[in-house]
Structure 1
Amino acid sequence: MSQTLDLSSAPAILFLFGLSGSGKSYVGNLIGELTGCYVYHADDDITDEMILALQEKRPFTNEMRDRYFPIITEKILHLRQHHNFLVVTQAVYKQRHREYLCKNIPNMEMIFIDASDAVISQRLTTRNGGITGASALALRRDFEQPDSNIKVILNEGDKSMLVTQLNNYFSSAQPEKD
């Protein structure tokens, strides 16, 4: 891939969210690989009660989520003190938690990573480790679609398609609009 990723007009923190299997971690890791930025996969810090819910193929409760998001907010703010540019990945299934993150973390933008149901299903069945298809299905029922003003990255192509979409949003060399 010879295309350059230009995030020169991006905020200090990009927060990638979406359904399990949409490719949040993949896109985050790609950004990290191409820019050298720090990538924080917030799933690494899910609580013990959330781990148990996943093992039992139960969705997270609102109370579980309410206890979790302050934890990762503090972690993100701490990481931001040590990194100029940060990418965070986490599903954030509820709109009120997206709003909480935006309210409590300055200079951050949420980006919805999307893929078709067929692509997501295929990814979940071929995954080694991580969330199971059954757990993802249980959680999917809880997902609230993002507001229409949220940037969307469609993750169904190759790396160059992802870079093109990111550059369209964040390159300082934006094409002039008619």
Structure 2
Amino acid sequence: MLIVLFGLSGTGKNYVGRIIQQHLHFSVLDGDTLLPDDMRNSVEKKIPFTQAQRDRFIEILITAVKTISGPNIVLVQALYKNSNRKRIAEAFPDCQFIQVQSDPDILTTRLQMRNKINDLDYARKISANFESPTHPALTLTNNIDNDEMGIMAQLHILLPALFTQESRLPNEETLRFTP
């Protein structure tokens, strides 16, 4: 199964990906690690990506996902454009999209605390380019920092097939993946 976590900067996509990895034994691919140099330069210069850059990058992501061994993968990438998410859906028809969302005030706080390349000003600038999904996508809300149990509870509701009847929440350390 391929789960695609997408959404604005600061929503906690990587955090959710790590929870899925730890408790459901998925491999995680952080798409930002595959950004080509021209896209990294755009981020450093605080210039939004062109659609041509995005389209080329989507093909890099698709190739990378296909090379990961194992049946269960989480792709973590902002994926601001519907056309790019739809291209991933074409390549992986059974993938499950989950939009990770957070309240604007929480996003601001998280982005201010980062010492990363995509600071608050840049995140605000590029957020105007985000397109709400016009394709099937679930929504996961991440408004509380370090809320592993809350994230797992939402995942249990959103994707119940990932959990067995014996599953319990993370503090009980007995979550099982159903192949």
Normalised by the length of structure 1, the TM-score is 0.85
Residues 1:159 and 2:151 aligned together: no
Match for 1:104 among 61, 78, 91?
Answer: 91
- Counterpart of 1:68 in 2: which secondary structure? helix
- The structural deviation recorded for 1:149 is 3.9
Which shows bigger deviation, 102-111 or 160-169?
A: 102-111
Structure 2 spans left out of the alignment, 5+ residues = 165-179
Residues 1:141 and 2:128 aligned together: yes
CA distance in 2, matches of 1:29, 1:129: 19
* Counterparts in 2 of 1:168 and 1:140: CA distance versus 1, 3 Å: same
CA distance in 1, matches of 2:158, 2:117: 30
- The structural deviation recorded for 1:19 is 0.3
Moved >2 Å (runs of 4+): none
Tell me, yes or no, if the aligned pair for 1:111 and 1:152 is still in contact at 8 Å: yes
Tell me, yes or no, if the aligned pair for 2:8 and 2:127 is still in contact at 8 Å: yes
Aligned length: 162
For residues 115-134 of structure 1, what are the structure 2 equivalents within 5 Å? 115-134=102-121
Per the alignment, residue 53 of structure 1 pairs with 42
* Counterparts in 2 of 1:130 and 1:38: CA distance versus 1, 3 Å: farther
- The structural deviation recorded for 1:135 is 1.7
**Identity rate, percent:** 27
Residues 1:17 and 2:6 aligned together: yes
Which shows bigger deviation, 57-66 or 130-139?
A: 130-139
- Counterpart of 1:14 in 2: which secondary structure? strand
- 1 or 2 for the larger relative contact order (CA 8 Å, sep ≥6)? 1
CA distance in 2, matches of 1:150, 1:74: 22
Structure 1 spans left out of the alignment, 5+ residues = 1-11
